[in-house]
Amino acid sequence: MSPATPNATLPDALTEVYGGTGIDTDVVPLTQVGFAEIAAQGSALRLAVFTRRVVEHLGAEVNDEAALVDFAEEFLAESGRTFSSLVVAISYKPAWTTFSADARCVADPAADAGQVGQAISWLCGHGPANFSCEDVPPSCAEDAFSTGDWLFSRWYNLVGEDPLQDCNFGGAALY
């Protein structure tokens, strides 16, 4: 048996044969586990999608698609690569990225309002003593996303060191 699509990865071929959805590069967690799932497929294009998500979560943008794919190909070719080594490589601000000095921890517009609301509830119940959810200005209390923007950015300014860990809130926020 061979896949109908030439050069398909094994996961893609199995997905095609069995009619499943496969691993969605847009939703795997931005962790070592998510990285391992994507890297195991051996597809530079899939790793490029995953890498783009990491770049965006770090408050940057991809400015050169071809260079991103080249990076993903080279990254896959080197053995022993991990999620941490991917983040370190991106932290050197490669030429195919544009980092913003104005990046902040905010509610992820791709999340749903309920997810953002749950993150706000968690934050308000677990914040340090010098953090108060009562201080949200009225202009930032109009909806879950505005409130999340205000609270997440203040939380990150107090405790944040790592945008991937300290500005995530279960996928409800991004840097």
pTM: 0.64
pLDDT, the chain, mean: 84
Specify the amino acid at residue 141.
A
Is it the case that residue 113 has pLDDT exceeding 60? yes
Domain boundaries, the chain: 10-99, 106-174
Output the pLDDT for position 71: 98
Main-chain dihedrals φ then ψ at residue 113, nearest 5 degrees:
-60, -35
97 forms bridges with which residues in the sheet? 62
Structure confidence at residue 165 as a pLDDT band (50, 70, 90): confident
3-class secondary structure per residue, 112-166: CHHHHHHHHHHHHHHCCCCCCHHHCCHHHCCCHHHHHHHHHHHHHHHHCCCHHHH
Average pLDDT, integer, range 154-161 = 81
What does the chain come to in residues? 175
